[in-house]
């Protein structure tokens, strides 16, 4: 009779709410992300006889009629993802949109979310924040997206992999802006951990011991006192000083002091724009 959007544990099965457990136990059909993951949860709850259908948004045309038929026959249906709250960087948005258009009002069963868990561990001001989700794969696109979104001066939540993290920290190791980070892994599990720092520091040692398989939640926040100038401003200043001074070293020292950046970065930018 109802269609439920059910949040499931992100690691610790004890985080499944009582209401979520009851809802799943009373369902005739569970639409899931991966059947193997759903089977573990169903087995944990001792649920027998429920039908599991793996779903992706590309399958909406095939699955939508099945859902409508079950609803019309007074059956209960739940949508779950592998872990956490469905639709948050997981399949399901298209199905929910189509159900609403059919006059079927979904019922949310709230629960765990890795993005919110990581945010409250970050130490940042959480009164306003931005959720981005997964970044593009290429380094150029990653930097373009991060530069664009952190300019809002609110914490930004990203879902990342080990490979993505290495690209991000490499891209920003010499940045002149002070960008703070909070990085969480294994949330709600035995070895959960969060580390914090700034992107333009040498984080290689701490990161090498922190990396492992799986997904991470990275939160970036441009410090309030971070310089807001661009490389274009530095380029103009270098060209201006070059007309007056012959020494790259002297120009680099002026750039370092004026823009409050590291010595090696000021020299690198001076050479770049000389």
Q: Please say whether the beta carbons of 169 and 200 come within 8 A.
A: no
CA–CA distance, 4 with 208 (Å, rounded to integer): 41
At 124-149, the pLDDT tens digits run 999 999 999 999 999 999 999 998 89
- Helix H or strand E encompassing 233: helix 231-242
- pLDDT in the model for residue 192: 93
Tokens at 71, concatenated: 């609803």
274, 243 contact by CB (below 8 A): no
Annotated domain spans of the chain: 3-109, 114-222, 231-273
- Predicted pLDDT at 178: 81
CATH topology assigned to domain 3-109: Cobalt-precorrin-4 Transmethylase; domain 1 (3.40.1010)
* Whether residue 53 has pLDDT greater than 60: yes
- Fold classification of 114-222 is 3.30.950
Secondary structure class of 55 (helix, strand, coil)? coil
pLDDT interval class at 154 (50, 70, 90):
very high
- Contact (Cβ atoms closer than 8 angstroms) between residue 189 and residue 113: no
Identify the helix (H) or strand (E) that includes residue 97: helix 93-101
Identify the helix (H) or strand (E) that includes residue 89: none
- Looking at residue 230, what is its pLDDT? 64
Which pLDDT tens digit goes with each residue over 205-262?
A: 778 888 877 789 999 998 765 555 567 778 888 988 888 888 998 899 888 887 777 8
Is this model's pTM higher than 0.85 or not? no
């Amino acid at each position: 009779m109802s269609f439920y959007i059910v949040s499931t544990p992100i690691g610790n099965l004890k985080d499944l709410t009582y209401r979520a457990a009851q809802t799943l136990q009373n369902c005739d059909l569970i639409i899931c992300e991966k059947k193997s993951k759903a089977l573990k949860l169903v087995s944990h709850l001792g649920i027998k006889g429920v039908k599991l259908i793996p779903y992706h948004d590309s399958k909406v045309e095939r699955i939508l009629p099945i859902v409508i038929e079950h609803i019309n026959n007074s059956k209960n249906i739940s949508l779950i993802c592998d872990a956490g709250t469905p639709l948050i960087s997981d399949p399901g948005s298209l199905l929910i949109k189509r159900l609403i258009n059919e006059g079927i009002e979904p019922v949310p069963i709230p629960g765990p979310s890795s993005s919110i868990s990581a945010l409250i561990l970050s130490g940042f001001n959480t009164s306003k924040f931005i959720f981005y989700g997964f970044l593009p794969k290429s380094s150029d696109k990653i930097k373009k997206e991060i530069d664009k979104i952190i300019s809002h001066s609110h914490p930004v939540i990203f879902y990342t992999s080990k490979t993505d993290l290495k690209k991000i920290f490499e891209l920003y190791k010499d940045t002149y802006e002070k960008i703070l980070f909070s990085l969480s892994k294994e949330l709600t599990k035995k070895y959960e951990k969060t580390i914090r720092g700034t992107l333009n520091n040498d984080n290689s040692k701490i990161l090498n011991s922190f990396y492992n398989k799986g997904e991470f939640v990275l939160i970036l926040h441009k410090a309030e006192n971070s310089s807001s100038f661009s490389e274009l401003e530095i380029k103009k200043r270098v060209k201006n000083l070059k007309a007056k001074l012959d020494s790259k070293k002297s120009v680099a020292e002026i750039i370092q002091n004026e823009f409050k950046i590291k010595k090696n970065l000021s020299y690198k930018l001076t050479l770049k724009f000389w």
